[in-house]
Amino acid sequence: MKKTFQYLLAVLVAGTLAWSCGSSGGDDPAPQEVTGKQLSKTPWTLQRGQVTVNGTDVTSHFSNMSVTMTYSASDGGGNITTQGDNGLFTGSTGWIYSNKTNANSIRLVGSQYINEAVQIDVTDTTFTMTFSAAGVPPIQLSRTAARTAGIDGTYFIKFKK
């Protein structure tokens, strides 16, 4: 009886150790890695998307805008290239996470007009950016149209795939 008890106790201890040392979800990627990979999947275009400044729709000023982002886990950010942005992202060459725990806040490296954190949300089909911009250059509506006033304020940009 004593040997049976010792055997059962040994099996119980070994089983408990094996269970406690098993996978505890630590293999899950960090939120920043998940977001970074989603951002870099493809160029994001404004087709079917929207741009507002201070709540006013200005999508027509950016109808051909696209953003391409890369991601490097070791750098905690990546590169950014834009087209059709009417100068809004001038100087922006890269991006980094604002802090190590928030996957929904980035900073643009080198931006002339966007000097605060950019709040982001990304899924497989949409990418949104919310930020404040100041000193934005005047926007030219067409090759022949005169430039209009720059649009400073709070931007909300929604890209869709």
Task: Going residue by residue through the chain, which has 161 residues, state the pLDDT in tens, using 9 for 90 and above.
Answer: 555 545 544 545 455 444 445 445 568 889 999 999 999 988 999 988 999 999 999 898 888 899 999 999 998 999 999 998 888 898 889 999 998 888 999 999 999 999 899 999 999 899 999 999 988 877 655 455 455 566 789 999 999 88
Taking the domains of the chain in order of start, what are their residue ranges? Answer: 42-160
Can you tell me the distance from the alpha carbon of 117 to that of 104, in angstroms, rounded to the nearest whole number? 10
Does CATH number 2.40.128 belong to domain 42-160?
yes
Q: What is the pLDDT of residue 81?
A: 93
Q: Interior CA angle at 87 toward 126 and 62, to 5°? A: 45
